[in-house]
Amino acid sequence: MTDAGFSNIYDDEIRANAYAKLECPGTYYLAYRDLPAIISKHVQGRKALDFGCGAGRSTRFLRQLGFDVVGVDIAQPMLARARECDPQGDYRLIPDGNLSSLSPETYDIVLCAFTFDNIPTMEKKVAIFRSLKPVGGIRALSALTTMEKKVAIFRFLKRLLKGGGRIVNLVSAPEVYVNEWVSFSTKDFPENRMARSGDKVRVTMLDVEDRRPVEDILWTDEDYNEVYRRAELVPIATYRPLAKQSEPYSWVSETTIAPWVIYVLGHRE
């Protein structure tokens, strides 16, 4: 697949402006609808990290739930929009992908809301997480496989949790990329149907002014669970929210196919 005409959504001012206006409409509503109840059930304490906060939507969401939350990201344009929308929020740039400023055993919840979807290339993941230390010593993530990179990331996130803390990983289900939705279209990308874990897939977002296709990285449920196993994290619960006909949207596929997967993860005892 050619990358012509596609851009990094993190370092793109036009994308950042569009994402800053996006809250929880349409299909995105289902990503956030059940989170308050899920978080209330599984999380004790009020210290939160929004890991990969982008324009701050999920950071603001956590604060509305009563959390003392810090949002971190690598992209200055996204953080600038987050601060414009939320001047009182605590938004921090991770310089050069250096995560050493994040203190271990600090957070009751680490929320990753689409962090593992919306990074256009594996190279960007390497830049973000190159300071991680996988088991066996310090290794450059550029030398690791895609699976190993994800394992290294989750091992690092695990270290940020207090005892009893939880990682909530909200990701796109693989079905997002092969169906039509209120908020997304995939009809122009038939190649998505042949994609496997680690492959690039494309969608057109319908809820933002910027209609340039967005590149995501497909990752299956089976492979996510393998990542968690290797990172010594336990999937405590998995949720796949479906829409209800009574909700105020003209649902397309959402009532029968879950567009999102929400994993609640904890330390292995």
Residue 98: band (very low, low, confident or very high) from pLDDT cuts 50, 70, 90: low
CATH number, domain of 129, equals: 3.40.50.150
Segment 60-75 shows an average pLDDT of: 94
User: Which phi and psi (to 5°) does residue 233 adopt?
Assistant: -110, 145
User: Does some domain include residue 6?
Assistant: no
User: Does some domain include residue 2?
Assistant: no
Whether residue 257 has pLDDT greater than 60? yes
Residue 183: CB atoms within 10 Å: 23
User: Does some domain include residue 261?
Assistant: yes
- Position 59 scores a pLDDT of 96
User: Does some domain include residue 4?
Assistant: no
Per residue in 165-186, pLDDT tens? Answer: 999 999 999 999 999 999 999 9
Counting Cβ atoms within 10 Å, is residue 71 exposed (0-12), middle (13-18) or buried (19+)? Answer: buried
Between 89-93, 113-117, 173-177, the lowest mean confidence (pLDDT) is in 113-117
- Position 253 scores a pLDDT of 99
User: Does some domain include residue 177?
Assistant: yes
Per residue in 132-152, pLDDT tens? Answer: 333 333 244 444 457 777 888
User: Does some domain include residue 40?
Assistant: yes
- Position 155 scores a pLDDT of 87
Whether residue 124 has pLDDT greater than 50? no
Q: How many domains does the chain have?
A: 1
Label each residue of 8-46 as H, E or C: CCCCCHHHHHHHHCCCCCHHHHHHHHCHHHHHHHHCCCC
Provide the residue range defining the domain that includes 153.
13-267
Q: CB–CB of 213/191 below 8 Å?
A: no
- Position 97 scores a pLDDT of 57
User: Does some domain include residue 8?
Assistant: no
Gap between the Cα atoms of 61 and 43, Å rounded: 15
- Position 170 scores a pLDDT of 97
| Higher per-residue pLDDT: 123 or 38 | 38
User: Does some domain include residue 3?
Assistant: no
- Position 146 scores a pLDDT of 72
